[in-house]
Structure 1
Amino acid sequence: MDYNSVEAEEIIEELLLDNSMEERRLQLFNQIYGEGSSSSQRRMINRDREAGHDRLVGDYFSENPTYLLETFRRRVDALGRKGLSPLQKYTAAMRMLAYGTSVDVVDDYVRIGESTAIECLKKFVTKVILIFEDEYLRKPNENDVQRLLKMGEDRGFPGMMGSIDCMHWQ
């Protein structure tokens, strides 16, 4: 399947805007505690998601951003609260991938719950595979092998193919 960058961006945006996991979490909460349960029976964690979003906007999207300026969108949930922004979902997934960050560390900065962060990561990785598997995430063909062997040879590593840890070196 071929995707241009606009189509890929739209797919990722759709993925990040998907609030179905929030709805599912609310359903599970209601199944466990009942819709009319008292607040003493349940413990809600106020993550101050708006502050997490504001921190991200200040770092990346303000007039004088700490990092590069981008665009973002956000939605409102069924209770009228601002939901997690696509930026928060994307940042959570990227931090876990790029830094090997735990969900707790992502929660501290982005203000996103464990199950939501994991779901964002799964959806992001699934979409990356869908978009890039045919070209980049496939078994190398003969042309690929020859090109990679030539690159290795040019860099002083003749016969080098597939060694990440260099364990076969003499």
Structure 2
Amino acid sequence: MGGILPPKSLHLVAVDFVAVTTGYEFFQLRYDARGRRGFTTLQKCAAAIRLMVMGESPDTMDDYIRMSERITRESLYTLSRGVVETFGDVYLQKPSLHDLQELAVGSKNDVSVLDQSLIFDDLLNGKTPDAPFTVNGNDYKYGYYLTDGIYPQYSTFVKAFRHPVEERDNFFKRRQEGARKDIERAFGALKAKWHIVEHAARLFDLETLRYIMYACIIMHNMVVEDKGRSIAHYIPTEPRHVQFQPGTTEYLYRVVDIQDASKHIQLREDLMDYIFYGTNNDNE
């Protein structure tokens, strides 16, 4: 394995390969028609990890262990899929209401996921917990995302002013854009560990890309947890949220509530007052 992975990346491999590869015929040791032994499970996993860590092209593995591009691609896909299917429930779990309440008002960042529609599917279906909060004396049912101007006027989006005029608007714009940088820094940390994330994606189909991204996120979370820096813990006995079927009255009510432009405007006004006047009072 040392001949395939660079030494500095060995600390990133915190995956139980036995658990991941069990049940996948591809990872089983096989022999060809002439009786020659194929690649071992460890070699296939190490090749896939190297591509993730180094961001190299699949055809480069031929220089290391004479592994064809086809086998390398399949190793990358199957390992990524195995990581997601084995550990996704734990390391890609939806935040609980307690986790959301640990976040201060204004700390929720711009949405950065593979399938944006899934966010609202989960919110509309009730798979994601509601995150009620009160700001400036007004109650709100859902959490929100800090976004730029291209997003619609949903009650779950908070956009900055494109051309602010008043001092309050300028102050809010700076704070909103500054908070959105957090997710960019988080994504930068992900790219620093898994260089495959920052390279061209045209080599892979959408399904493979989805598995690769989720696998990198999962393994990043594993590293964070291993270092004792995780802020939330998996609770398998946590009660499930009430879920709503599309087309039902409850579901349609949530659609209207989320797409309420008046609440979008009111939330931004409340946040601006809370942040601007609250900060000024603290400085006096």
Q: Which of the pair has more CA radius of gyration?
A: 2
Q: TM-score, normalised by structure 1?
A: 0.47
